[in-house]
Amino acid sequence: MLFITIWPLFGLICLGFVLARKGFPDPAFWPAAERLNYLLLFPALLVSSLMRAPLGDPQILRLGGAAIVTICLVGLGLAVWRRFCPMPAARFGPALQGAVRFNTYLGLAITASLTGPAGVERAAVYLAVAVPLVNVLSIMALSEAEVLRHPGRLIGTMLRNPLILACLLGIALALSGIGLPFGGDRFLELLARGSLPLGLLCVGAALQPRAMRRDLSALAGTSALRLLLVPCLAFLVAGGFGLGTVEALVLVVFSAIPTAPTAYVLTRQMGGDGTLMAGLVTAQTLAGVLTIPLVLLVLGLG
């Protein structure tokens, strides 16, 4: 049953890959569609979900704390490992992103399929905490923490991120209780409906199978860490924080899904090993169709 619930989501990813390779509807369509989703549709989904989230619920606060602890433990573990196995920032950056970043479209789609609106609201809270954190860690890893010497630049980068801005707006609306007048909430909901299917199609269009031809050991090791070990760690953290069933599922799902395609863009922008990053995105996305149902079943969350 769990596989039947999840495979259509990966079916959309595969469809996006096939359409892009066939040049349909046009090669220029996919970058434009991804930009539309990133700047408009997905932020609308975050705002509409967060503004309804019960932020006063103690479980919500615990979920945020569990997200921070899980991500920081993985980052700390990789930093310690790097001390024994030195590597340049150009390669450590992709390795860290391959372990802590997550495909937001896939995570929300799986959460929505398994838990409905309540899970999506909690997933939006998770994103409000995790998106800024993983972005900071990723930039630090790619720059040898050079960015910490220019905190103003880092803050400016964060405040230009549409997902972070959407989270801030959604939280403000939830805390104020004012909502959006004149049907504004309905308008956002209509925009949000197109985000996840379009996002999954774009994920497929961005896959690069050729990038998996080298660094096979790095791809296998980082992918195993991300897809198998990190969700087990998240499950233990969820138990330590006393999370409810839905909150624990959200934490584990976002810890078990493949790394984000946007990690490739950041890696290229900061001079990292783009081929390794593209290989990690592709390998984890292909493996995720099997590992995600397996992890959820083994952990008793499926």
137 lies in some domain: yes
Cα distance between the two ends of the chain: 9
pLDDT of residue 154: 79
Residue identified by tokens 């390795």 is: 95
Least confident span in 108-122, 175-189, 194-208: 175-189
176 lies in some domain: yes
- Name the CA radius of gyration of the chain, rounded: 18
Segment 140-157 shows an average pLDDT of 79
Domain count, the chain: 1
Segment 13-40 shows an average pLDDT of 96
Residue type, 297: L
pLDDT of residue 152: 78
113 lies in some domain: yes
Read off the DSSP letter of residue 41: I
242 lies in some domain: yes
CATH number, domain at 85? 1.20.1530
209 lies in some domain: no
pTM: 0.95
Q: What is the pLDDT of residues 5-25, one digit of tens each?
A: 899 999 999 999 999 999 999
DSSP code per residue over 180-238:
-TTTHHHHHHHHHHTHHHHHHHHHHHT--GGGGGS-HHHHHHHHHIIIIIHHHHHHHHH
d(CA 100, CA 70): 9
**Structural domain boundaries enclosing 69:** 2-204+214-298
12 lies in some domain: yes
* Chain center to CA of 183: 30
Give the H/E segment covering residue 126.
Answer: helix 117-143
Residues 6+ away with beta carbon under 8 Å from 109: 9, 196, 199, 200
Whether the Cβ atoms of residue 260 and residue 103 lie closer than 8 Å to each other: yes
Q: What is the pLDDT of residues 71-114, one digit of tens each?
A: 999 999 999 999 999 999 999 999 999 999 999 999 999 999 99
pLDDT of residue 147: 67
Q: Express as a percent the part of the chain with pLDDT over 70.
A: 99
193 lies in some domain: yes
184 lies in some domain: yes
C-beta atoms surrounding 1 within 10 Å: 8
d(CA 94, CA 73): 17
pLDDT of residue 229: 98
Which of 279, 273, 283, 277 is closest to 264 using CA atoms? Answer: 277
Question: Using alpha carbons only, what angle is made at residue 155 by residues 277 and 191, rounded to the nearest 5 degrees?
Answer: 70
